[in-house]
Structure 1
Amino acid sequence: MATVILVRHGRSTANTAGLLAGRVDGVNLDELGREQAAATGKRLAAVPLVGVVSSPLERCLQTAQFIIDRQPAAPYAPTDSGLLECDYGQWQGRSLKDLATEELWKVVQSQPSAAAFPGGESLAEMQARSVAAIRRHDAAFESEHGPGAVWAAVSHGDIIKSILADALGMHLDMFQRLNVAPASVSIVHYGPQRPSVYSINTEAGDLSWLAKAAHTGDAPVGGGSGHQAP
């Protein structure tokens, strides 16, 4: 299968204000967020992407554009509601400080699989539709461009954490152990036997090796020799 680079959007105005933005319109990257997204776009420039798929929310579209602008050929760039932020329902737009006093907050922290947001969706529903979207696009890119294809998905923190938890074989109740910072990069290859997670929450480092990465589907016994830049 292909390899997906999971990119969280850069820091947003809601992040700065301490608000749970959810799906509210008009939440954009702040100045630092634009700098973060530009740096991620520069970092990914070493990898010829066959496509960029984004959540339809502004902060993700803005981040995706920084990536596309650094690609030598404009990659296929659709939006997918499967990568949309969690539907936090009545929690949307409220301050994180206030939400931390809610009983549901404790459930979200300790037993996410049982958490359902009033008027919104459950975290289990969020994971199911986001993983399905990633696997659908991954299979399509592999079919069109071959098993060496590399593509990027630009989405949100909880979405990416849930995708990584699935790839790692972790129960959703453990996904809060993962951290995904603004504009960070995580990498997953969906092989024929199992997903391989190459990185989580990275903000720096050479990615040029992805342009020539060979995937056999087998895990290297003993750890292997690592990836070499072309």
Structure 2
Amino acid sequence: MQLFLIRHGMTKGNLEKRYIGCSDEVLCQEGIRQLEEKRDAGIYREIPSDAVVWCSPKKRCIQTAQILFGKREIKIEDRLRECEFGDWEGKNYMDLRNDPRYQKWIDSGGTISFPNGEEIQAFKERSVQACREILRWEQKEKNYVFVVHGGTIMAILEQFGYPQKGYYDYQCSNGEGYICVAEQDENNSPILRVQRRLQ
């Protein structure tokens, strides 16, 4: 069984390096162009035509899946959405550089939660639980694609990825991601053996 993890294409907020979590942005024109170029260059060619496509409910993910997979059925899972960034939603470094709470977050290595946002651990747990349940529900299916967010990919691979790495070690650019071989341990939890970057 293979699992392909793909981060959505670029949005205006991504271009401006903003924290975009619960905001429901669409892809920008540059993001659409990049995805089409990557698709036409064949970087997604290893994804089997029978792979089951799961998607975050956010427009940027659904748009990405439609560009990459045409009219293939897309299944939506709400728990695969991005972390909610609270007071930092829609802001970037220039907006936040004088906020002492932001400096405290940077000093923590990004491990503390966002002010008035989602608890980091709660975000990770819902992402991980969604992945675990999807891979259990459809064990007869052989291959899966998750078109999701950067944070979602990092949360899933921090928990299930092999070799084991930290959360931020699994960052990836828009339209890119990872190819994994999905196995299950004795407790029916996923083991995702990372084969290579999808780029």
TM-score range, shorter chain: 0.7 to 0.9
Partner of 1:157: 150
1:188 equivalent to 2:186? Answer: no
- Larger relative strand fraction: 2
Write the letter of the residue equivalent to 1:160. Answer: I
Moved over 4 A (4+): none
Partner of 1:224: none
1:12 equivalent to 2:11? Answer: yes
- Give the 3 Å change call, closer, same or farther, for CA 188–17 of structure 1 in structure 2: same
Identity %: 24
Counterparts of 1:47-196 in structure 2, within 5 Å, are: 47-69=48-70, 74-102=71-99, 103-107=101-105, 110-113=108-111, 115-142=112-139, 144-145=140-141, 149-168=142-161, 170=164, 174-193=166-185, 194-196=191-193
- Unaligned stretches of 5+ in structure 1? 204-230
Write the letter of the residue equivalent to 1:30. Answer: C
- Give the 3 Å change call, closer, same or farther, for CA 96–60 of structure 1 in structure 2: farther
**When the two structures are aligned, how many residues end up with a matched partner?**
189
- Give the 3 Å change call, closer, same or farther, for CA 196–89 of structure 1 in structure 2: same
Q: What is the DSSP-based 3-state SS (H/G/I as helix, E as strand, rest coil) of the residue aligned with 1:10?
A: coil
Q: Deviations over 1:46-69 (max 9, x none)?
A: 422331111111111110101221
Q: Could you tell me how far 1:124 is from its partner in structure 2? A: 1.5
- Give the 3 Å change call, closer, same or farther, for CA 98–92 of structure 1 in structure 2: same
Q: Could you tell me how far 1:105 is from its partner in structure 2? A: 4.7
Write the distance in 1 (CA, Å) between the matches of 2:76 and 2:103.
30
Q: What is the DSSP-based 3-state SS (H/G/I as helix, E as strand, rest coil) of the residue aligned with 1:29?
A: coil
Write the distance in 2 (CA, Å) between the matches of 1:9 and 1:83.
12
- Give the 3 Å change call, closer, same or farther, for CA 108–166 of structure 1 in structure 2: farther
